Chains A and B, each alone.
Chain A
Amino acid sequence: MTVPLTLLGLLEREPSHGYDLKRDYDAYFGRGKPLSFGQVYSTLSRLARDGKVVISDLEPGEGPDRKRYVITDLGATEVDSWLTEPVAPEPHLQTVLFAKVTLALMLGRNAETYLDTQRAAHLRRMRELTEIKRSGGLVDALLADHGLFHLEADLRWIDLTSARLDALATEVRS
């Protein structure tokens, strides 16, 4: 789960209110999927319960009192561990692409047409991401690049699989 750890990371910069955390999360990490206030406050409550943040003060206002959250040593250690540990590489051996191609070959269907259609869909998404890169800032570009490189990896697999279709068909039908 990256939301609690990302909120913890944002708190490591400086103590913040829930509203500020939501604003920064949405600006940098939300990307069309903003957090609800309910999710922000329930996450902060769990982090407080687990001793990873504390409430430093309450600011009375016209609405509900505003709580300022401060990261604890335990929370900071968790952020540090998270940022330094590699993400487990996922082999993705059982992807939908793989299943569709293999099944199409087993059933004697046209896997090449499917791969071309998939290639077109991937390239169309890559065009969209490229446009985001060209019209946005560096943070947008960073996120778009991540998507572009993953799509490109899929496309390499599609190209290689296209070149091996005859041999693959022989193998899966034997």
Chain B
Amino acid sequence: MTVIEARQVVLSFGETPALRGADLAVAEGELLAIMGPSGSGKSTLLHCLAGILVPESGEIHFDGRRVDRLGESGRSRLRRDEFGFVFQFGQLVPELTAQENVALPLLLNGVRRAAAVAEARAWFGRLGLDGLQERRSGELSGGQAQRVALARGLVARPRVLFADEPTGALDSLTGEHVMDLLVSAARQEGTTVVLVTHEPRVAAYADREVIVRDGKVHSLTAEAIA
């Protein structure tokens, strides 16, 4: 069953077209990798799917709802309630401890502080972060910070996790560890994952890959030789 879908999405930045009729459907529980060269529009597509950007034309559907027709507050609520995010850089709030960072989505969703902290603490064990709860982002290694970001992306049990180059700033071994944890956690939670990456070794963790080229989505698997 399709959970999120882009239909003929078009979006330009000034005179520069980013998406020129992009079509993409992601199934519930699927782990999809969006690949493509720099500037191909892959991150723009992720931002449209996630309701961060609104396309000039075309449609974005999530669970039967038209995301592109929602106003700013509606999209903000959708992102808060249904989506999780992991990006490449600068995701943690530096003034908060790691544990407070992870609890943040729950607190924003109205969960009481004690319950939010307890839920956040459980993720530290799951992602091998025990003992780091009180550290701030400046006191974490890149891999640790990314695991905290992953915990924060998953703590509210989102329907869809959007990950944009989640290992882009990490060395190979650390990146591999983060991907292992991301895939395991998403599978356990049944979370759909939309992953943007230019690294084939990261895309190889996905169930399926598509490539964005010149603002359009090309399915690779369907064309694969038997």
Contacts and interface: CB of A to CB of B under 8 A. Distances in A.
Interface in A142-168: 148-149, 151-152, 155, 159, 163
Nearest to B199: A152
B17 interface: no
B226 to A, nearest CB: 10
A148 to B, nearest CB: 6
B211 A122 contact: no
A119 B220 contact: yes
Given A148-B204, A152-B200, A120 B37 contact: no
Given A116-B218, A159-B37, A129 B204 contact: yes
A126 B220 contact: no
Contacts of A48: none
Interface in B178-208: 180, 183, 199-201, 203-206
Given A134-B180, A159-B37, A163-B37, A120 B201 contact: no
Interface residues of A, number: 21
B62 to A, nearest CB: 27
Contacts, number: 49
Contacts of A149: 201
A117 B74 CA distance: 40
A124 B207 CA distance: 9
B200 A155 contact: yes
Contacts of B201: 126, 130, 148-149, 152
A110 to B, nearest CB: 11
A46 interface: no
B204 A127 contact: yes
Contacts of B164: none
B180 to A, nearest CB: 6
Given A129-B204, A163-B37, A117 B209 contact: no
Contacts of B225: 117, 120-121
A120 B224 contact: yes
Interface string B125-155: 0000000000000000000000000000000
A40 interface: no
A117 B221 CA distance: 8
Q: What 3 pairs across the A-B complex have the smallest Cβ distances?
A: A120-B224, A126-B204, A120-B220
Interface of B: 37, 180, 183, 199-201, 203-206, 209, 211, 218, 220-221, 223-225
Given A120-B221, A122-B200, 11 more contacts: A116-B220, A117-B223, A120-B220, A123-B200, A123-B209, A130-B201, A130-B204, A130-B205, A151-B200, A152-B200, A152-B201
